[in-house]
Structure 1
Amino acid sequence: MYKKWLLLGMVIIMLGVLAACGPGGMEQDANVSAGDMPDEPSKSELAAAIESDNSNEIDDLVEEHFPLLDVVNGDTYEAEIFATQRFTKEELVSLFSSAIEPENVSEEKDNQQIMVYPDDFVTLKHSESDDNVILIEVASEEFVRNNYSPSFLQTYFTYRLLDSFLGNGWSNRRARSCQSGDCYGGYKSGSYGAPSRGSGTFRGGGPGSGK
């Protein structure tokens, strides 16, 4: 009898842990303030390092120079969330564009701006709890194609332009898939929708750190 109750107790504990994690993994606070940030090199040091970087891919460039905050996981592909308090959105757009030319850069809307590269979409936005912190979301093209809501992206690009990035008819096909509400509309504090979040609190990134 004792063993039976012990086993039942262990099952209840496991179910509780799984319920707490939910489909998106263990919850983390995504409100990032300057006090939460790890030490970064000075603005001039970071700018010089980025300007001299020989990376050909924007995801490699961002990963090398900025701390990783979080990972949003799709079925196969993922989006990585980095952060910095050294630059404004406008400065980052200029730095990234000079280092690796994007295919397209949106206008700034809703306090966000999106840069489109051949293999990645880079979204720049302020942290919701501290305007001095800029979040840098680097989402692979496949992650965007399979998870993003076209209505979110249409804020920044026309459907015709989105279809040129993601494939003919993508906007209409994805809109039908999103009728269930299971689509990703960008990184938001405390509300992620689909796909699920992974773990990661300022790991990797930064000059001289490994990949």
Structure 2
Amino acid sequence: MKSVYSMIGLVSLILLLTGCGQGDVSEYLDGTNDYQLTDVITSSTDSSDYSRIYTNSSKSLEQVSQELSDWKSPEESSQIVDGKQALIYDENLVVLTSNEEGTQVEVSEDDFVRDNYRPSFFNQLLTLAVLNRFLGVSDWGRLQQSRCSSLTGNGSCYSGYATSGSGYRGPTSPSPFREYSSRGGGPGSGK
């Protein structure tokens, strides 16, 4: 019986070391002293969806990207384009932006991305096919672009923190994507 408990302990340790149960990116950043939470942007269509903004004043975009990749490999990673890079994790989109203060790390939940982001924000970073897969919808770019084009002023779609900033209020009309609340995979697979 003792060997059964030893084997269970060994399997648990292996799973822990290989990345199971690591949590999301925000939990990782909150657990270090290197990142300061500077703002939280809430979706206007569902207040439980948000984007968290962190700043690291001592590391370059490349260093932050490598640190996050060492912590947990992203499902997708873009090239660095114009001082910006996108990383896709299980339920988070991470946008790294190089600026005067260091590196800004924006961690957005998939629901926030789906309901708020302007598709053109991802030009040269991620393809629409990658975004469709991440968001669990088909034709997100076309449908969201149509929605964004009909909005004006403070109710327009999100273009990342550097452009939209803390003043973002978002669309007040319900998102056409609310029926897509999970990323597939069948019963019991989670979001």
| TM-score where L is the length of structure 1 | 0.61
Provide closer, same or farther for how the CA distance between residues 162 and 134 of structure 1 changes in structure 2, counting only shifts above 3 A: same
Q: How does 1:119-198 map to 2 (within 5 A)?
A: 119-127=91-99, 130=100, 132-166=101-135, 167-179=137-149, 180-181=151-152, 182-188=156-162, 191=165, 192-195=167-170
Q: 1:193 deviation in Å?
A: 4.2
Whether 1:61 aligns to 2:28 is: yes
Q: 1:194 deviation in Å?
A: 4.0
Instruction: Tell me the alpha carbon deviations over residues 136-158 of structure 1, each in whole angstroms, 9 at most, x when there is no partner.
Output: 11111110011001111133111
Q: How does 1:2-17 map to 2 (within 5 A)?
A: none
Structure 2 residues without counterparts, runs of 5 or longer:
1-20, 172-191
State the alpha-carbon separation in 1 of the partners of residues 163 and 130 from structure 2: 28
Aligned length: 140
| TM-score where L is the length of structure 2 | 0.67
Check conservation: 1:57, 1:100, Cα contact below 8 A. Answer: no
State the alpha-carbon separation in 1 of the partners of residues 96 and 163 from structure 2: 14
Check conservation: 1:68, 1:82, Cα contact below 8 A. Answer: yes
Partner of 2:81: 109
Percentage identity across paired residues of the two chains: 24
Check conservation: 1:147, 1:194, Cα contact below 8 A. Answer: no
Q: 1:190 deviation in Å?
A: 7.3
Q: How does 1:72-111 map to 2 (within 5 A)?
A: 72-75=41-44, 76=46, 77-111=49-83
Instruction: Tell me the alpha carbon deviations over residues 82-107 of structure 1, each in whole angstroms, 9 at most, x when there is no partner.
Output: 11112111111111111111111111
Aligned residue for 1:185, secondary structure, equals coil
Structure 1 residues without counterparts, runs of 5 or longer:
1-53, 197-211
Q: Which amino acid aligns with 1:55?
A: Q
Q: 1:110 deviation in Å?
A: 2.1
Provide closer, same or farther for how the CA distance between residues 190 and 114 of structure 1 changes in structure 2, counting only shifts above 3 A: closer
Provide closer, same or farther for how the CA distance between residues 170 and 60 of structure 1 changes in structure 2, counting only shifts above 3 A: same
Check conservation: 1:73, 1:79, Cα contact below 8 A. Answer: yes
Aligned residue for 2:120, secondary structure, equals helix
State the alpha-carbon separation in 1 of the partners of residues 164 and 88 from structure 2: 26
CA-based RMSD of the aligned residues comes to 2.0
Provide closer, same or farther for how the CA distance between residues 93 and 190 of structure 1 changes in structure 2, counting only shifts above 3 A: closer
After TM superposition, which residue ranges in structure 1, 4 or more long, deviate above 2 angstroms? 189-196
Check conservation: 1:56, 1:100, Cα contact below 8 A. Answer: no
Aligned residue for 2:144, secondary structure, equals helix
Q: 1:109 deviation in Å?
A: 1.2
Provide closer, same or farther for how the CA distance between residues 125 and 173 of structure 1 changes in structure 2, counting only shifts above 3 A: same
Provide closer, same or farther for how the CA distance between residues 194 and 83 of structure 1 changes in structure 2, counting only shifts above 3 A: same
